[in-house]
C-alpha cells in the first residue's frame, strides 16, 4: 500500500529549494551507507535549477559520495543533448560538470533518436540492467526528483496523454504531447511508483490552483492531474512547496 504523502511548505522559493537539496543529500548518503550505491533520476525544467546549483557545491565539501551515484533522467525533450532545450544539458551545466563523477555513471535519455519508441525501449533496458530490482521485478530508484507544471503535469506525463498516463507495463515511453506539439520521452508511473523516495518540488503562484486540488481536492478532481498519481507503492513521497504554490490549499509554512 502507498505510504502517506508528506507535505512541507516553506515561506520562500529559496527555502523550498534548499530543503529539496538537503533531502536529496540525505537520501543519497543514506542509500550509499546502506547499500553501497545510490540510484537517482533527475528532472528538467526551470524549478530544480537552483537545487542542482546547491548540490553542486557539495563537490567541494565531500559531503555527498558522488563517485557512488548512478544518475538517470525522468524525462527528456526530443532534442540533441547539447540543445538549449535539453534537460540533460541543463543538469550537466548546473550540476554534473561540478561533480567528481565519470561519464559512465551518467545515463541521459536518447530522446533525439530517429526511432523514439525503440530508443525508449532501449533506455528501459538500461534502467533494468543497472538499477536493482524489487521483488516484483521493477527497478527501484533510491530517489526520483520531479517537478510539476501549472496544468498538473509531472515528468513528461501531461493531462490528455493516455499513452503515457495509462501505461501499465512499460517503464519508459515516447509519446506525442498535443499541448506542446512534439514528442517526449518519460518514465511512467510503474517505474516512478516503485522508487524508495520521490521528491516533488513545486514553487510559484501559477501552481497554486493545481497544488490545492492535489492537496485538498476530491478524488475525481485529482484523477485528472498526473502529479496527483505519484504514490510510491512501498516508499515515500515528499511534496516540497513554497507559500505561493500552497496559498490556495489548507497547508501553510511551518
Q: In what order do the strands lie in the sheet with 38-42?
A: 6-10, 236-242, 197-202, 143-146, 38-42, 69-73
The Cα–Cα gap between 202 and 77 comes to: 20
Return the sign of the alpha-carbon dihedral for residues 130, 91, 191, 109. Answer: negative
Instruction: Give me the residue spans of the domains in the chain.
Output: 6-246
pTM tops 0.75, yes or no = yes
Each residue's pLDDT tens digit, 122-169: 999 999 999 999 999 999 999 999 999 999 999 999 999 999 999 999
* Buried-state track 123-151, b at ≥16 Cβ within 10 A, e below 16: bbeebbeebeeeeeebbbbbbbbbbbbeb
Each residue's pLDDT tens digit, 167-216: 999 999 999 999 999 999 999 999 999 999 999 999 999 999 999 999 99
The Cα–Cα gap between 151 and 159 comes to: 8
Architecture of domain 6-246: 3-Layer(aba) Sandwich (3.40)
Amino acid at each position: 500500500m502507498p505510504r502517506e504523502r508528506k507535505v512541507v511548505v516553506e515561506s520562500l522559493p529559496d527555502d523550498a529549494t534548499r530543503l529539496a537539496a538537503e533531502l536529496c543529500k540525505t537520501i543519497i548518503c543514506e542509500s550509499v551507507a546502506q547499500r553501497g550505491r545510490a540510484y537517482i533520476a533527475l528532472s528538467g525544467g526551470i524549478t530544480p535549477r537552483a537545487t542542482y546549483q546547491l548540490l553542486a557545491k557539495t563537490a567541494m565539501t565531500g559531503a555527498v559520495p558522488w563517485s557512488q551515484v548512478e544518475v538517470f533522467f525522468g524525462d527528456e525533450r526530443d532534442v540533441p543533448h547539447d540543445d538549449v532545450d535539453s534537460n540533460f544539458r541543463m543538469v550537466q551545466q548546473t550540476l554534473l560538470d561540478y561533480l567528481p563523477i565519470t561519464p559512465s555513471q551518467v545515463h541521459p535519455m536518447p530522446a533525439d533518436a530517429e526511432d523514439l519508441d525503440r530508443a525508449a525501449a532501449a533506455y528501459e533496458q538500461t534502467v533494468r540492467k543497472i538499477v536493482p530490482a524489487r521483488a516484483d521485478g521493477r527497478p527501484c530508484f533510491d530517489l526520483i526528483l520531479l517537478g510539476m507544471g501549472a496544468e498538473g503535469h509531472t515528468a513528461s506525463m501531461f493531462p490528455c496523454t493516455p499513452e503515457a498516463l495509462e501505461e501499465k507495463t512499460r517503464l519508459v515511453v515516447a509519446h506525442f504531447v498535443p499541448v506542446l506539439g512534439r514528442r517526449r520521452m518519460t518514465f511512467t508511473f510503474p517505474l516512478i511508483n516503485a522508487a524508495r523516495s520521490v521528491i516533488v518540488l513545486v514553487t510559484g503562484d501559477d501552481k497554486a490552483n493545481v497544488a490545492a486540488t492535489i492537496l485538498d481536492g476530491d478524488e475525481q478532481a485529482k484523477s485528472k492531474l498526473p502529479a496527483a498519481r505519484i504514490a510510491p507503492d512501498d516508499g515515500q513521497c515528499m511534496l516540497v512547496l513554497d507559500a505561493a504554490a500552497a496559498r490556495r490549499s489548507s497547508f501553510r509554512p511551518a
